[in-house]
């Protein structure tokens, strides 16, 4: 088996990175209608490139099989993003199928699952914020979240993977048994509508957001595709409209791009509504093209000015 080489850690500045994204970079099979392509994916990929395009100092902690390192990390290294790559027997692989008529809805299959992360994996990485993007429920142990909570100003979690059993076949959602301990370590929580309802046990997204916030997160984000998003912060609900795209090219990674925009604004001190509006516009720009976000902050503000 080829061994994924761990990149040497260079001395950090006192503040380290602005943000470190923790999650598997994946091999993705994308099907939209009759078209198929194989590409790089995962939260670590889409979020880090988007954050880097906004000018932040970004790091990624990931795991994959050694033979996949060169092709899957090529774009990140081309962007000069610092990659901490750990060894895994397998690379996480997903198949995403979108309909031609409804590109916001996807059917996912898990093809393979990479090795889980551990608290030891983040040793030596200093960042103002950590964004954690598990893809299955074996990726991120609660002990890792606990460690990050003691080391960073912001811990952000895209909860989707915590609800996905780590088995091959169609992706399904089930409750996260350790959610009370895990969410107590999280400052910003992101879920889609279905995930929020499963995780909270509630029947409506407003109540789900409030219930999830009561478990620890200061801000709860619930995304709803073309119907926008909802942010619950400081006992207030903020309803963020979706920016209408000029065209729909590739929805894969839109949620990760939304979170990149949101975290960028939070690091700048923005309030939840401002951060949400910026995030929604950024996700729309990503939706209009293939691959990760390729725009700029100026383009996001230009879109917002037209809304």
Q: What pLDDT does 267 receive?
A: 96
Confidence of residue 254 (pLDDT cuts 50, 70, 90): very high
Confidence of residue 183 (pLDDT cuts 50, 70, 90): very high
Highest mean pLDDT among 2-16, 88-102, 136-150, 237-251: 136-150
With CA atoms as reference, report the closest residue to 122 among 86, 160, 154, 166: 86
Cα distances from 135 to residues 32, 87, 145, 167, in angstroms, run 21, 17, 15, 11
In sequence order, which residues have a C-beta less than 8 Å from that of residue 31 and are 6 or more positions away? Answer: 95, 96, 97, 98
pLDDT for residue 185 is more than 50: yes
pLDDT over 90 percentage in the chain: 80
With CA atoms as reference, report the closest residue to 35 among 94, 97, 81: 97
Give dist(CA 145, CA 16) in Å, integer: 19
pLDDT for residue 87 is more than 80: yes
pLDDT for residue 2 is more than 50: no
CB 199 within 8 A of CB 208: yes
3-state secondary structure of 23: coil
Question: What fold is seen in the domain 17-306?
Answer: 3.40.1190
pLDDT for residue 279 is more than 60: yes
Confidence of residue 248 (pLDDT cuts 50, 70, 90): confident
With CA atoms as reference, report the closest residue to 224 among 303, 137, 283, 156: 283
For the residues 180-192, what does the mean pLDDT come to? 98
Determine the length of the chain. 307
Domain boundaries, the chain: 17-306
Give dist(CA 60, CA 64) in Å, integer: 13
Confidence of residue 105 (pLDDT cuts 50, 70, 90): low
């Amino acid at each position: 088996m080829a061994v994924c080489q761990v990149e040497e850690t260079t001395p950090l500045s006192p503040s380290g990175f602005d943000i470190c994204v923790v999650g598997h970079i994946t091999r993705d099979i994308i099907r939209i209608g009759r078209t198929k392509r194989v590409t790089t994916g995962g939260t670590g990929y889409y979020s880090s490139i988007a954050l880097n395009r906004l000018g932040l100092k970004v790091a990624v902690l990931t795991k994959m099989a050694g033979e996949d390192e060169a092709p899957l990390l090529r774009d990140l290294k081309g962007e000069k993003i610092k990659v901490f790559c750990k060894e895994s027997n397998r690379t996480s692989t997903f198949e995403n199928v979108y309909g031609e008529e409804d590109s916001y809805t996807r059917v996912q299959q898990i093809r393979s699952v990479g090795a889980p992360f551990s608290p030891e994996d983040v040793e030596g990485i200093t960042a103002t914020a950590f964004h954690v993007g598990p893809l299955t429920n074996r990726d991120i142990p609660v002990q890792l979240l606990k460690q990050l909570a003691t080391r960073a100003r912001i811990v952000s979690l895209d909860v989707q993977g915590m609800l996905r059993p780590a088995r091959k076949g169609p992706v399904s959602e089930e409750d996260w048994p350790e959610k009370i301990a895990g969410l107590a370590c999280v400052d910003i929580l992101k879920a889609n509508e279905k995930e929020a309802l499963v995780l909270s046990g509630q029947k409506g997204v407003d109540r789900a957001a409030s219930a999830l916030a009561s478990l620890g997160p200061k801000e709860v984000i619930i995304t709803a595709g073309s119907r926008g998003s909802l942010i619950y912060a400081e006992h207030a609900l903020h309803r963020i409209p979706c920016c209408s795209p000029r065209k729909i090219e590739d929805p894969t990674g839109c949620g990760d791009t939304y979170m990149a925009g949101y975290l960028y604004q939070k690091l700048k001190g923005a309030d939840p509504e401002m951060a949400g509006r910026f995030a929604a516009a950024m996700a729309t720009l990503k939706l209009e093209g293939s691959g990760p976000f390729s725009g700029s902050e100026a383009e996001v503000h230009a879109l917002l000015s037209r809304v």
